[in-house]
Amino acid sequence: MENKTKTVIDAEGAVLGRLASIIAKRLLLGEEIIVINAEKAIVTGSKERILERFKAKRERGDPIKGPFYPVRPDKVFKRVVRGMLPRKKAKGREALKRLKVYINNPENLKGEKVGKTIDDIKCKFMYLGEICKHLGWKG
């Protein structure tokens, strides 16, 4: 069942949720996945609704006890994938350990495009990097 193949996926222009669900399925099958250009993934919808939704996630809970929501695009991306895995079971925890997410392309890797991209989208959208800047990311 375990594949042990390494896959590099370029998130530039890919829809965040669709890409995350594809990655979650592949992680559960045993693949090791490296995601590059996480800040260039897109979230569809109007700017106001997107920012309102992410801001609500960020401000939810207690500042000391949590739950804590990340600000950096790579951490937000990993959190979205985590939400699609059975993380409280051993197979979900192991799957999440096989995921590496990077801002930009630190090792000049060649990544494949997976799922719908910005070319297929005909509605309003925002880049994940822009959303994170509104949340307080200083990158």
pLDDT attached to residue 93:
96
Give the Cβ contact number of residue 113 at 10 Å: 14
pLDDT (0 to 100) of residue 137: 92
Rounded Cα distance between 129 and 2, Å, is: 33
Q: What is the pLDDT of residue 114?
A: 82
Percentages of the chain per state (helix, strand, coil), in multiples of 5? 40, 20, 40
Low-confidence ranges of the chain (pLDDT < 70): 1-3
pTM of the prediction?
0.90
d(C-alpha 82, C-alpha 99), whole Å: 10
Identify the structural domains of the chain with CATH numbers, from first to last. Answer: 6-135 (3.90.1180.10)
CB atoms within 10 A of CB 3: 12
pLDDT for 5 equals 81
Q: What is the pLDDT of residue 108?
A: 83
